[in-house]
A and B are shown apart, each in its own frame.
Chain A
Amino acid sequence: MLTDREPAVEQPAGPKRKRPAFHLNRQGRAAHIFLIPWQLGFLLITAVPLFASLYLAFTDYDILNPPEWSGLENFRRMVHDDQFWASVKVTLVYVVVSVPLQLGFALLLALVLDRGLSGLAFYRSAFYLPSLLGTSVAIAILWREIFGDAGLINKGLAVIGIDGESWLQNPRTALATLIILNVWTFGSPMVIFLAGLRQIPDELYEAAKVDGAGVWRQFTHVTVPLLTPIIFFNLILQTIGAFQTFTQAHIISGGTGGPANSTLFYTLYVYQQGFVAFDMGYASALAWVLMAVIGLVTALHFVASKYWVFYGDN
């Protein structure tokens, strides 16, 4: 192509000097054509729906009749809504338990795989595969059967003489199965950890060894501090993801969030109110609460990160 043969350095910004106004206008006009899809999308798919849902959050709306302004009624209703509180509890327990466990596994395995172990590509693929499939309906179906009455887990427990009851029909264990499913998908944060570990220069470990640091001190004084930005990145990503868990909860409970609301994830409750009960006003209010909570939690993470995340440049 022409561009390859002619290095731009020889004529630096030649035409630009001749007709700068035209040049800029032309770019501006072109930009507006390039951005037509984005502008339409932002307007119709994001901005208008965002304000519409904020408005609907203060109305009573069943889709068939026009929305009726109800002020703070939807929010008042939440306070007395047992299912709402159940879904909050389920979601918070899930986030608080499964995210640290998942990241812990991810970091542990990344450390084991890092540096000089043969077969890295194989292990990485094997651990990553569940992440790739984890949110699919198919895997949720598999989980139903594994933890069901006559499932693999109870068969395994029977071998060692434990008579397991159905994990999914017991309100005390149903959520645990979903937590296990999320931990099982530790491969994707692990891959990010591996990429981060590779960035840590060997010299630092050498220097630490020279200073007499053992494996543990190398880990706490070199690996962890230099990895904190990656830990933070994974933490934010997985936390936001965990708040929005839906498919697994829907399939495993058959869309009910049962038994006894023990798998009633917040997003599942929003779905039930909006698209099963067609209580679109209440569902919008619920969605806004979710957004506020995710925003708040993310902001708190950022504030807290000042105290524990170490960036090389400060």
Chain B
Amino acid sequence: MTLISAPPLRERRIKAALKHTGLLIFVAFMIYPLVWMVVSAFKPADQILTDPGLIPKDLTLDNFKDGWHALNRPFSVFFLNSLLVTLGSIVGNLFSCSLTAYALARLQFRMRKVYFAITLASVMLPFHVLVIPQYIFFSQFDLVNTYWPLLIPKFLATDAFFVFLMVQFIRTLPRELDRAAWIDGAGPFLTFWYVVLPLMRPALVTTTIFTFIWTWNDFFVPLIYLTRTQVFTVPVALNSMVDSETQTGVGMLFAMSLLSLLPILVFFAFAQKYLIRGIATTGLK
């Protein structure tokens, strides 16, 4: 029924082929830096900058071996530190944000609207305006160089964006489910735990993914609170390698950088579908 006749098949095929060619060139151009870093990490250190090509003449693991011990502690320490902080943040966000979101979305109490408005407003608040008093606060309790300043906020639902995300999600769940649970005699706690929380899985998955990526990548907060090498997370350790670049060299930096991205790349491979959906619906990065 189309009034405008479609272009002939051959013409469309040629068009599509041209489009794909253009796109693939663009992809190659965009991904080149990443591939270059991967390849360079396996090149002998002196060939990285003299030979920018992607096919290495010699392959070596020296960059990884040397980089692993470039700071006065093995990199495994930093990976474990990062892992601890990341897992702690995920648990904290899932716990505190889901509790808060359930109360805001489903329970009746006087300050509900005010609390929700505050949550929305604090999404916009730039972190820099809070960080100095927070630093003073935590340092008064002698918590600098511990992970408490990184973890406590997560257990107190301060990542308001996730609260918002979960509230919006809970609102899409039919209220009849809660009511049925109430009629069966379940109180708010049992209803939350057995009815709402299991249904919230997509929102919980999105929160987990983004908490993982943000915390793993986070540089500013650990930079401020962690000054002793033994408590460094991976990004801060990389930063201190940069500071001593003359001794460490590009090869080691690339090797350790690559390792630092690996968890995210693996995560991306597995969680890609949820990740894309999460960003398409919420704008999280």
Q: Which residues of A contact B (CB under 8 A)?
A: 1-3, 6-9, 11, 13-15, 24, 26-28, 30-32, 34-35, 37-38, 40-42, 44-46, 48-50, 52-53, 56, 63, 109, 112-113, 117-119, 123-133, 135-139, 141-146, 150-152, 155-156, 184-185, 188, 191-192, 194-195, 206, 209-210, 233-234, 237, 240-241, 243-244, 246-247, 250-251, 254, 267, 270-271, 274-275, 280, 283-284, 287-288, 290-291, 294-295, 298
Contacts and interface: CB of A to CB of B under 8 A. Distances in A.
Contacts of A237: 283
Contact of B52 (A14, A132, A155, A271): A155
A287 B182 CA distance: 48
B238 A138 contact: yes
Contacts of A144: 242
Given A138-B261, A155-B52, A291-B126, A34 B132 contact: no
A251 B180 contact: no
Contact of B158 (A30, A46, A113): A46
Given A37-B155, A150-B49, A28 B110 contact: yes
A43 B3 CA distance: 64
B281 interface: yes
Interface of B: 2-4, 16, 19-20, 23, 26-27, 30-34, 36-37, 48-50, 52, 95-96, 99-100, 102-103, 107-110, 112, 115, 118-119, 122, 124-137, 139, 152-153, 155-158, 163, 176-177, 179-184, 187-189, 192, 194-195, 213, 217, 219-220, 223-224, 234-235, 238-239, 242-243, 250, 253-254, 257-258, 260-261, 264, 268, 272, 275-276, 279-281, 283, 285
A27 B30 contact: no
Nearest first, the 5 A-B pairs at minimum CB distance are A41-B156, A138-B257, A30-B188, A49-B133, A195-B280
Contact of B130 (A26, A46, A206, A241): A46
Contact of A137 (B36, B235, B254): B235
A34 B279 contact: no
Given A6-B184, A34-B188, A145-B250, A290 B242 contact: no
A129 B135 CA distance: 33
A41 B130 contact: no
Given A123-B27, A132-B264, A53 B132 contact: yes
Contacts of A188: 279, 283, 285
A215 to B, nearest CB: 12
Given A30-B188, A270-B128, A35 B219 contact: no
Nearest to B175: A8
A96 B31 CA distance: 26
B126 to A, nearest CB: 5
Nearest to B122: A46
Interface centre among A11, A185, A287, A298 (most CB of B within 10 A): A287
Contacts of B137: 44, 48-49
Given A3-B195, A45-B130, A142-B33, A247 B257 contact: no
Given A46-B130, A133-B264, A188-B285, A126 B30 contact: yes
Contacts of B184: 2-3, 6
Contact of A192 (B109, B213, B283): B283
6 contacts: A27-B108, A30-B107, A34-B100, A45-B130, A141-B242, A142-B254
Contact of B194 (A1, A143, A155): A1
Contact of B27 (A126, A234, A271): A126
Contacts of B253: 141, 145
Contacts of B110: 28
A37 B157 contact: yes
Contacts of B131: 49, 274, 287
B33 A146 contact: yes
B136 A63 contact: yes
A213 to B, nearest CB: 10
Given A1-B194, A188-B279, A247-B219, A38 B109 contact: no
Contacts of B250: 145
A191 B182 contact: no
Given A35-B100, A38-B100, A254-B243, A138 B260 contact: yes
Contact of B242 (A63, A254, A287): A254
Interface centre among B23, B163, B213, B234 (most CB of A within 10 A): B23
B268 A112 contact: no
Contacts of B176: 7-9
